[in-house]
């Protein structure tokens, strides 16, 4: 039988095709049936499509499991899910077949991470529709790009490392050292990109993956060294080690059953140092956390606080018709707090922008508050607008009134929310102004920076945080560096209605306490008014008997404030761990690019 040689497009080699298969039934050599390679290509395309669909499903599954660590999807008996949330997506990135074309491979890799992250943010940021529908159709897609970059790094940089064979290994993924490097690089890339997401273009660090571990108090304590990035790193590391260990166990079982040489059978029984070291790391992190939780208490000062939650609807706040009723609500609740027989409050708290007009500039508003202050010895910390004439400045401020409102201190918000408190490039790029319309009539000015406010009732200096500032680790640590003894958040989560945004807000704020080892008192217009201890645990919450936090009321509590708070490693050095992860990621990417270019040059010479 005569044999013809035809090239195969997929393998690049030649395959032998019997000439009899190239003729039709009449023996006419010119009327040929489709060559086998065409059928092979079609089958290969079908297989590739199926694999892509499976990969996308795994990516969606990872996005869903990630969301189980955040309100409203978190379930107590699934609190272990963050440890393996990345397992499905990592399996797809490391082990499923890849497109042969480099261009298609890049697109495929980016797509999987993009889909997983997009699904996660669509689930957890659904509350954006209460603010602006434009946010829900733009912000998750922008944030998903960071996930796409991560999966691209895993496929193009990390996977080649894992697939490279060692001289003494018959198959890839059998080396503990390589598998550990794969996991460390994958975790570093996610942590570094997540930090970048929190700082680039003013940043949006909301719902970092590490926040999902906040209920595990021993593990949470590592954040006073690493910040939230350390928890994100740990989650991705364990998920990656899980899939590489499964792959390695499978290959070792296969080798043990089918390999004849004794050396190969011995190889299949080698210890898994990658898995062992990962488990040891988790034990060490939990041991560190237990030591922090059981450490002797430092000297503390008891501070009596009354936090007033007005529960004012957002559409009433800036309507002149409701100004009088808003002030009546806050005055009435404050009088109730001052008349309490349990304890006289050292500090009265009103939430962000509580007064309908600027407190220090409006005589009517100030007189009402002054009358309350003169009736008691309490200090008043009130969220209000504040204007300055020379130079003209408009601030979102926290104002502390002391000694019967005869003295005041104020802090102007440092980190403004784009498209919430100002429109970026309002004059230079009118498209943003056109989209937002009249929902933001003017822009606030950013304050000069962190500033502590000193109480007159107790020797305590507080760090006033406004709105989302308690979600920003680097900003909060700067307050702590100034010597803050208590974090106080004034916020207005009424923008989001009765959604889960307020629960996610406080979930992110819990990390700030664990990072700085400072207690936090949060007062909201509506949402979650609560007390968080220095280890990140919520100890008291204002809520109705049915558990709802969207109520009008008073949270009266005693807060134990450290007299000489410790300065944690994170407070002193910030996100050094996450920045180091980003540096390692860039270095690994640079090495891979260099090796690829050198390999291309060597092939060209050959």
- Assign 63 a pLDDT band (cuts: 50, 70, 90): very high
The pLDDT of residue 392: 86
Instruction: Report residue 82 as tokens.
Output: 């963050």
Mean pLDDT of 343-366: 94
Task: Name the more confident of 597 and 433.
Answer: 597
* Mean pLDDT within 153-162: 95
Per-residue pLDDT for 11 more than 50?
A: no
Which is more confident, 312 or 343?
312
Predicted confidence (pLDDT) at residue 433 exceeds the cutoff of 70: no
Q: Give pLDDT, residue 7.
A: 39
Task: Answer yes or no: is pLDDT of 1 > 60.
Answer: no
Is the confidence at residue 6, as pLDDT, over 60? no
SS3 120: helix
pTM value is 0.88
More confident residue, 413 or 17: 413
How large is the average pLDDT for residues 420-441? 61
**What confidence tier does 428 reach under pLDDT thresholds 50, 70, 90?**
low
Provide mean pLDDT across the span 587-596: 92
- pLDDT for the residue numbered 10: 38
Closest CA to 93 of 144, 159, 147, 162: 159
Of 165 and 312, the structure prediction assigns the larger pLDDT to 312
Say which residues have a Cβ less than 8 Å from residue 523's Cβ, sequence separation at least 6. Answer: 307, 308, 309, 349, 350, 351, 488, 489, 490, 491, 529, 555
Report the pLDDT value the prediction gives residue 286, as an integer from 0 to 100.
Answer: 97
The residue-averaged pLDDT of 19-32 equals 44
pLDDT at 480: 97
Residue range 151-165: mean pLDDT, rounded? 93
CB 486 within 8 Å of CB 531: no
Note the pLDDT of residue 36.
54
Compute the average pLDDT of residues 272-294. 96
For the residues 184-196, what does the mean pLDDT come to? 98
Average pLDDT over residues 147-173: 88
More confident residue, 598 or 325: 325
Chain mean pLDDT for the chain: 87
Contact between 398 and 464 (Cβ < 8 Å): yes
* pLDDT reading at 604 higher than 90: no
pLDDT at 300: 95
Q: Among the listed ranges 91-95, 173-177, 555-559, 585-589, which one has the minimum average pLDDT value?
A: 173-177
Sheet holding 300-309, edge to edge: 407-412, 393-402, 379-388, 347-349, 300-309, 553-562
Residue 39 pLDDT > 90, yes or no?
no
Share of the chain above pLDDT 90, in %: 69
* Highest mean pLDDT (candidates 22-31, 190-199, 436-445): 190-199
Q: How far apart are CA 40 and CA 265, in angstroms?
A: 36
Q: In the predicted model, is pLDDT for residue 332 greater than 50?
A: yes
> What is the pLDDT at residue 23?
42
Of the ranges 84-93, 128-137, 256-265, 493-502, which one carries the lowest mean pLDDT score?
256-265
The answer to whether the peptide bond before residue 197 is cis (omega within 30 degrees of 0) is: no
**pLDDT on residue 193:** 98
pLDDT of residue 389: 85
pLDDT tens sequence across 513-552: 999 999 999 999 999 999 999 999 999 999 999 999 999 9
What is the rounded distance in angstroms from the CA atom of residue 60 to the CA atom of residue 263?
A: 41
Label residues 224-243 b or e (16+ Cβ within 10 Å = b): bbbbbbbbbbbbbbbbbbbb
Would you state the pLDDT for residue 462? Answer: 97
Average pLDDT of the residues in 184-203: 94
- Model pLDDT for residues 239-248, shown as the tens digit of each residue: 999 999 999 9
Strand, coil or helix: 561: strand
pLDDT digits (tens, 9 = 90+) for 449-471: 999 999 999 999 999 999 999 99
């Amino acid at each position: 039988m005569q044999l013809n040689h035809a090239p195969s497009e997929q393998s690049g080699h030649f395959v032998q095709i019997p000439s009899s298969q190239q003729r039709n039934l009449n023996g006419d050599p010119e009327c040929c049936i489709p060559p086998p390679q065409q059928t092979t290509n079609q089958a290969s395309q079908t297989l590739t499509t199926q694999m892509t669909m499976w990969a996308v499903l795994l990516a969606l599954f990872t996005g869903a499991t990630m969301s189980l660590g955040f309100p409203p999807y978190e379930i107590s008996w699934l609190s272990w899910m963050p440890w393996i949330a990345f397992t499905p997506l990592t399996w797809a990135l490391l082990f499923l077949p890849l497109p042969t074309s480099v261009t298609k491979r890049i697109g495929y890799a980016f797509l999987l991470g993009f889909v997983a992250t997009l699904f996660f943010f669509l689930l957890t940021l659904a509350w954006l529709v209460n603010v602006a529908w434009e946010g829900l159709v733009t912000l998750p897609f922008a944030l998903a790009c960071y996930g796409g970059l991560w999966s691209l790094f895993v496929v193009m940089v990390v996977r080649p490392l894992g697939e490279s064979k060692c001289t003494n290994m018959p198959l890839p993924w059998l080396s503990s050292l390589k598998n550990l490097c794969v996991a460390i690089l994958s975790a570093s890339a996610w942590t570094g990109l997540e930090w970048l997401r929190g700082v680039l273009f003013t940043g949006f660090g909301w719902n970092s993956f590490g926040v999902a571990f906040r209920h595990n108090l021993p593990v949470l304590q590592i954040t006073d060294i690493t910040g939230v990035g350390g928890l994100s790193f740990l989650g991705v590391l364990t998920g990656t080690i899980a899939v590489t260990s499964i792959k390695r166990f499978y290959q070792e079982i296969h080798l043990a059953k089918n390999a004849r040489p004794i050396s190969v059978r011995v190889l299949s029984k080698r210890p898994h140092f990658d898995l062992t070291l990962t488990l040891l790391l988790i034990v060490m992190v939990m041991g560190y956390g237990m030591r922090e939780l059981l450490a002797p208490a430092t000297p503390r000062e008891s501070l009596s606080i009354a936090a007033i939650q007005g529960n004012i609807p957002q559409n009433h706040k800036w309507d002149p018709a409701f100004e009088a009723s808003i002030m009546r609500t806050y005055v009435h609740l404050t009088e109730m707090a001052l008349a309490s027989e349990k304890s006289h409050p050292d500090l009265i708290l009103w939430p962000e922008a509580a007064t309908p007009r600027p407190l220090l500039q409006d005589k009517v508003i100030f007189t009402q508050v002054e009358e309350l202050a003169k009736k008691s010895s309490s200090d008043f910390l009130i969220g209000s607008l504040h204007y300055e004439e020379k130079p003209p400045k408009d601030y979102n401020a926290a104002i502390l009134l002391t000694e019967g409102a005869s003295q005041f201190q104020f802090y102007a918000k440092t980190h403004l929310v784009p498209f919430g408190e100002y429109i970026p490039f309002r004059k230079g790029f009118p498209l943003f102004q056109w989209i937002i319309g009249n929902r933001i009539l003017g822009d606030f000015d950013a304050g000069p920076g962190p500033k502590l406010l000193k109480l007159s009732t107790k020797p305590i200096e507080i760090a006033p945080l406004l709105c989302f500032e308690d979600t920003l680790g680097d900003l909060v640590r700067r307050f702590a560096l100034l010597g803050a003894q208590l974090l106080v958040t004034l916020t207005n989560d009424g923008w989001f209605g009765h959604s889960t945004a307020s629960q996610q807000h406080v979930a992110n704020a819990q990390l700030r306490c664990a990072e700085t080892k400072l207690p936090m008192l949060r007062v909201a217009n509506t949402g979650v008014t609560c007390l968080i201890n220095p280890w990140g645990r919520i100890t008291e919450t204002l809520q109705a008997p049915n558990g709802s936090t969207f109520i009008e009321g008073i949270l009266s509590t005693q807060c134990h404030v450290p007299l000489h708070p410790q300065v944690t490693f994170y407070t002193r050095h910030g996100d050094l761990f996450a920045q180091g992860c980003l540096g390692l990621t860039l270095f690994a990417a640079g090495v891979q690019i260099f090796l690829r270019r050198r390999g291309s040059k060597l092939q060209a010479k050959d």
